[in-house]
Amino acid sequence: MVRRLATRAFAASIAVTALVPSIPAAPAKADPVWVFPGMEIHQDNRVCTLGYVDPALKIAFTAGHCRGGGGVVTDKNRNVIGRLAAFRDNTPTGTTVATDQLITDYEAIVLDNNVMANNVMPSGRALVSGPAPALAPGQPVCHFGVATGETCGTVESVNNGWFTMSHGVQSHNGDSGGPVYLAPMGGPGQIVGIFNSVWGSFPAAVSWPATSEEVREDLGVPSPR
């Protein structure tokens, strides 16, 4: 069985920023709330990790299966940081999946105008999005999750819109939605995926290039930068 595939599409003429006024404003004198990749987020009773933040567009991304029913996204202190704008999620049920099966699993979050956004993970490494070489088995990658922190290993297999990892990459409850990235010595992380699940004994992530194209289709805006 697979969960239902769902999208919330917006016309291309609707800018992402047009959605922001619908988000309740924070108190005028409240301390600023920071939003960044790798932070803990809550939606209803679901705890996940924020995967990527575009500070210029004020939009962030996590796994689609992290979404809540009300669409409100908060930090670990229950401060509202934004609202769900679009998602796709056909994550299979069970513990195994055919390698040729397409998996989509993203949620786009429009951030509150009052939050402060940056692209720096808790480890201190900046996370950027841009052209990256195609992933291949054996390629070094890292993953950041609120439960495990940063763990690194290698790509195990590259499949239909998703890939698996091994040799050190770990995951526990709460890590879903976290960024998977190339981690060059001394440089920023290059996002290549959003953490999805564990299939068999292998942690897995959906492909960032594939997700970026889905975002473009669903929101009618440029792909995440």
Residue 148, pLDDT score: 95
**pTM given for the model:** 0.83
What's the rounded mean pLDDT across residues 170-199?
Answer: 93
Residue 92, pLDDT score: 85
Residue 223, pLDDT score: 59
Instruction: State yes or no: pLDDT of 31 exceeds 50.
Output: yes
67 conformational bin, left if phi > 0, alpha if psi -120 to 50, beta if neither? beta
Tell me the per-residue pLDDT of 10-24, one tens digit each, with 9 for 90 and over.
Answer: 232 233 333 334 445
What's the rounded mean pLDDT across residues 77-104?
Answer: 91
Q: Would you tell me how many other CB atoms lie within 10 Å of the CB of residue 209?
A: 17
Tell me the per-residue pLDDT of 41-70, one tens digit each, with 9 for 90 and over.
Answer: 999 999 999 999 999 999 999 999 999 999
Domains and CATH numbers, the chain: 16-119+210-219 (2.40.10.10), 127-207 (2.40.10.10)
Q: What is the DSSP string of 148-211?
A: TEEEEEEEEEE-SSEEEEETT----TT-TT-EEEE--TTS-EEEEEEEEEEETTEEEEEEHHHH
Residue 18, pLDDT score: 39
What's the rounded mean pLDDT across residues 67-82?
Answer: 96
Among 4-18, 19-33, 75-89, where is mean pLDDT lowest?
4-18
Top-confidence residue, 135 or 95:
135
Tell me the pLDDT band of 2, cut-offs 50, 70 and 90.
very low
What's the rounded mean pLDDT across residues 213-217?
Answer: 93
Residue 168, pLDDT score: 93
Instruction: State yes or no: pLDDT of 114 exceeds 80.
Output: yes
- In angstroms, the CA 195 to CA 206 distance is 6
Among 11-20, 26-35, 45-54, 209-218, where is mean pLDDT lowest?
11-20
CB 143 within 8 A of CB 177: no
Instruction: State yes or no: pLDDT of 94 exceeds 90.
Output: no
**Residue 137: beta bridge partners?**
none
